[in-house]
Chain A
Amino acid sequence: MNSIDRGQLLADLRAILPDHCLIDDRESQRPFECDGLPLYRELPLLVALPETVDEVQSVLRCCHRLAVPVVARGSGTGLCAGAMPHPEGVLLGLSKLNRILDIDPDARTARVQPGVSNLAISGAAAAHGLYYGPDPSSQIACSIGGNVAENAGGVHCLKYGLTVHNLLSMELLTVEGDRTSLGGTGLDSPGYDLMALLTGSEGLLGVVTEVTVKLLPTPEVARVIMAGFDSVRAAGDAVGAVIAAGIIPAGLEMMDALAIEAADEFANAGYPRDAQALLLCELDGTEQEVEHHIAAVQSVFTQCGASSMRVSADEAERQLLWKGRKSAFPAVGRMSPDYYCMDGTIPRSQVSHVLEEIARLSQHYQLRCANVFHAGDGNLHPLIMFDAGKPEEIARAERFGADILELSVAVGGCITGEHGVGLEKLAQMPSQFGEAELHQFEEIKTAFDPALTLNPGKGIPILKRCQEYRALPARHRHG
């Protein structure tokens, strides 16, 4: 890669974009220096904020001609430094492409631009009794384009799937700025399922400029059961017992003692403070179905030795019980100057073993760790508490995090369930994949992006071409 002529780039982009869509000065670029993982920061050469798909296309063509790296960004809520800018590249912000283009209630679809927030889709669909299924915790802010890039999940994945299960079609721009459409109005499309490949590809293969998502009928009723347990093991067994009873809950979440304390302090949700583990089990469907399943799950929890149980009687109580869980991250944020959220996914049967190991590592690294867990689908979110003002503590937190990821792989799981690899987990990719698999990823990357200018240095380690792209930015920058 040749050295980039910033003056040339700026002049060319000024010919494409109105002045207010280009951010040139360093101070105004600050808000774009990181995503939701502020441990990793970098300023780009330029920030481009196009307002139309044609402008996005022109920016890509320009960057391709000048061999300038492009990092696409939605709302910047990602948690793996996937949208961290490249120091020699353009940060391509898609937040201004924020129109809901069409809601089709009979086909149960929404056609939207990539900058539309996840929650706005459900908001617009609500008038038709429909909603969009995947609900990442950041859904107020996170964009659907970012959801596609990361294959975002949420608390309702076990029943309603991930982003990849809820897409019907997308418009794509290649690195060269060429347009194509993936998917269709139906469920099968000709050729390879590029939509599946693009989903979760972290902006490494193309730029998505429009998405059509599937919508679901809003359930008649949803109720949640909260149950406290005296041990993590008992709670873990209860999760397996619910599944064994033939019930697929809409959501099934677990929190450990530290997370319970933090969340309840924050949200006053009435969580059992003396419990070692708490389960929140949401059941949705028709009134008859929910009534039937509530009784069944209560019986399972009782048999599994629940020390306390509470069933939401109305919508307000359901919201309250969820409030603690949904505010668990900021709640932990109040207990510690900083926290580092991990994202390993493990077989459910390994929950208690993994949580015991995490407790041991917590002792070893002398850092507290609260555990919030999408128990239904085995996705663990340990929140490692540290002080970013102390460089040595940052290093310890990162080592602790890396150990948890490797532990997840060792028990048959993976390093990331829904947050993505980005820059953050690049070093752990070889613990999950062998050299041949990493090489295959690289071949696919170069099939779409031969010059490696789309989000370079993220997602997949590049083995054979390492001399061709710039070294990763220093791992620790805390501006």
Chain B
Amino acid sequence: MADALQALVEQVAGARRAGQTLRIRGGDSKVHMIGRDCHADRDLKLAGYHGVSDYQPRELVLSARAGTRISDLQLLLAERGQTLPFDPPAFAGSATLGGTLACNINGPGRPWLGSVRDAVLGVQLINGEGELLEFGGKVMKNVAGYDISRLQAGALGTLGAITEVHLKVLPLPEYSVTLAYDCSAEAALQQMAEKARQPKPLNGACWLDGRLYLRLAGAQQAVQHTAGIWGGEQVETPLWEQLRDLTHPFFDGEQPLWRLATNIHTPAEKAGAQCIDWGGSQRWLRSLPGTIPAGSHLALFAGGDRQSEVRGELDPVQQRLQLRLKQSMDPAGMLNPGRLYSWM
């Protein structure tokens, strides 16, 4: 694999010398979502650079090359009773670890279990100068230097081509139950707020199609005891996997899929299809919302016009900082040009 890594470094360095741009590709599972359409002179293919390089269950640390499939990681971890806490989509086996970090894509437990951004301990990447760099490491706490590892989360490969990731993993919950309640979106938001304030093993809260779903996970006695208090109907449902993998019928169809990052106080939309996830922090919408509250961020997650900007405008100060940051890691702007913003 050392040769394969060297070949990747050579490709980036060669493109840099030739003044060419590169489109970074993993498993192509998210190529039409999250970012803008990206056009570049050449592809840099990471899917073939895969494999777990280190896994120490007792350290709760796993290291794998960027092209490693999420589905393979989940299988390996499950054998040891562990899991990726951020529960990323596997997208039918095509999603890779590098792409998952670059997109910072996370499952329905995010408010309670964290994100891949939260779990990443270190990365190896190739910056836009064609240099192979390592940041962070395999330990839980590390504050030496800037946190360039977490910075890769959501950067869509525009700061570097991620080649290896070190992650914190966690034990699988011993037991899990989903409770369902028939109610309006407004009532569901109220319930989500009330339930999330309680010190109970809640790790999922979603409203969809007139039903509120609460997921409890942890020690069996604690889950059963809480389920007894909270009532509702205990259901066996594929809902959480469908939310994670975007396979629920809500996500079907050609119309644009919007994602609003907000908090519990944002009222439910009066019209249009919506799914409230992350205990009210994430709203999936199939049409533009009426208003966007201050501090909330709307993004065109999938579909629609992906040639224009797909995420909110930055204020001029932040735009300046972000552009300078981009230039500090990719001075020629050769990595995934335009994927994040048209001007980046």
Contacts of A432 in B (CB 8 A): 144-145
Contact B317 A180 (CB under 8 A): yes
Per-position 1/0 for B39-78, Cβ under 8 A of A: 0000000000000000011111100000000000000000
Give Cα A476–Cα B262 distance, bound, in whole angstroms.
50
Give Cα A289–Cα B293 distance, bound, in whole angstroms.
38
Contact A184 B199 (CB under 8 A): no
Contacts of B334 in A (CB 8 A): none
- Total A-B pairs, Cβ < 8 A: 283
Give Cα A248–Cα B200 distance, bound, in whole angstroms.
16
| Chain A residue nearest in CB terms to B131 | A436
Give Cα A157–Cα B42 distance, bound, in whole angstroms.
43
**Could you show 16 A-B contacts with beta carbons less than 8 Å apart?**
A158-B140, A165-B118, A185-B296, A186-B260, A189-B297, A191-B314, A192-B151, A192-B322, A194-B322, A197-B150, A348-B58, A376-B140, A378-B139, A421-B143, A433-B145, A438-B145
Per-position 1/0 for B126-153, Cβ under 8 A of A: 0100011111011111111111101101
Contact A447 B143 (CB under 8 A): no
Contact A217 B199 (CB under 8 A): yes
Contacts of A108 in B (CB 8 A): 196-197
Q: A192-B151, A345-B141 are in contact. List 15 more A-B contacts (CB 8 A).
A: A107-B265, A164-B147, A185-B263, A185-B294, A188-B259, A246-B81, A286-B222, A289-B201, A292-B219, A293-B219, A347-B61, A416-B142, A429-B145, A437-B135, A448-B321
| Chain B residue nearest in CB terms to A106 | B193
Contacts of A205 in B (CB 8 A): 146
Contacts of B131 in A (CB 8 A): 436, 440
Contact B197 A129 (CB under 8 A): yes
Contact B145 A437 (CB under 8 A): yes
Q: Is A174 an interface residue (CB 8 A)?
A: yes
Q: Is A276 an interface residue (CB 8 A)?
A: no
Q: Given A433-B145, A447-B327, A180–B321 Cβ distance below 8 Å?
A: yes
Contacts of B118 in A (CB 8 A): 161, 164-165
Contact B200 A286 (CB under 8 A): yes
CB neighbors of B among A161-204 (8 A): 161-162, 164-165, 169, 174, 178-182, 184-194, 196-197, 199-201
Per-position 1/0 for A426-448, Cβ under 8 A of B: 00010011101110110110111
Contacts of A93 in B (CB 8 A): none
Q: Is A288 an interface residue (CB 8 A)?
A: yes
Contacts of B171 in A (CB 8 A): 243, 246-248
Min C-beta distance of A205 to chain B, whole Å:
8
For A, the interface residue count at a CB cutoff of 8 angstroms equals 97
Selected contact of A196 from candidates B147, B193, B262, B296, CB within 8 Å: B147
Q: Is A15 an interface residue (CB 8 A)?
A: no
Contacts of B222 in A (CB 8 A): 285-286, 288-289, 292
Contacts of B224 in A (CB 8 A): 288
Contact A414 B144 (CB under 8 A): yes
Per-position 1/0 for A407-425, Cβ under 8 A of B: 0000011111111110001
Q: Is A377 an interface residue (CB 8 A)?
A: yes
Q: Is A257 an interface residue (CB 8 A)?
A: no
Q: Given A186-B297, A247-B171, A192–B155 Cβ distance below 8 Å?
A: yes
- B residues apposed to A, CB below 8 Å: 56-61, 81, 104, 110-111, 114-115, 117-118, 127, 131-135, 137-148, 150-151, 153-155, 159, 170-172, 174, 193, 196-201, 218-222, 224-226, 259-266, 278, 281-282, 293-297, 299, 311-315, 317-318, 321-322, 324-329, 340-341
Q: Is A460 an interface residue (CB 8 A)?
A: yes
Contact B137 A414 (CB under 8 A): yes
| Chain A residue nearest in CB terms to B154 | A193
Give Cα A288–Cα B221 distance, bound, in whole angstroms.
6
Min C-beta distance of A230 to chain B, whole Å:
21
Min C-beta distance of A431 to chain B, whole Å:
10
Q: Is A270 an interface residue (CB 8 A)?
A: no
Give Cα A205–Cα B265 distance, bound, in whole angstroms.
32
Q: Which of A109, A151, A436, A447 gathers the greatest number of chain B CB atoms within 10 Å?
A: A447
Min C-beta distance of A58 to chain B, whole Å:
16
Give Cα A157–Cα B331 distance, bound, in whole angstroms.
36
| Chain B residue nearest in CB terms to A165 | B118
Q: Given A196-B150, A285-B219, A421-B145, A188–B138 Cβ distance below 8 Å?
A: no
Give Cα A440–Cα B226 distance, bound, in whole angstroms.
49
Contact A187 B322 (CB under 8 A): no
Contact A188 B297 (CB under 8 A): yes
Give Cα A463–Cα B247 distance, bound, in whole angstroms.
51
| Chain A residue nearest in CB terms to B190 | A106
Contacts of A437 in B (CB 8 A): 133-135, 145
| Chain B residue nearest in CB terms to A190 | B311
Give Cα A463–Cα B278 distance, bound, in whole angstroms.
44
Q: Is A9 an interface residue (CB 8 A)?
A: no
Contacts of B159 in A (CB 8 A): 192
Contacts of A305 in B (CB 8 A): none
| Chain B residue nearest in CB terms to A448 | B321
The 3 A-B pairs of least Cβ separation, nearest first, read A186-B261, A417-B141, A377-B140
Contact B221 A289 (CB under 8 A): yes
Contact B221 A440 (CB under 8 A): no
Contact A436 B133 (CB under 8 A): yes
Contacts of B261 in A (CB 8 A): 184-189
Q: Which of B139, B148, B299, B341 gathers the greatest number of chain A CB atoms within 10 Å?
A: B139
| Chain B residue nearest in CB terms to A205 | B146
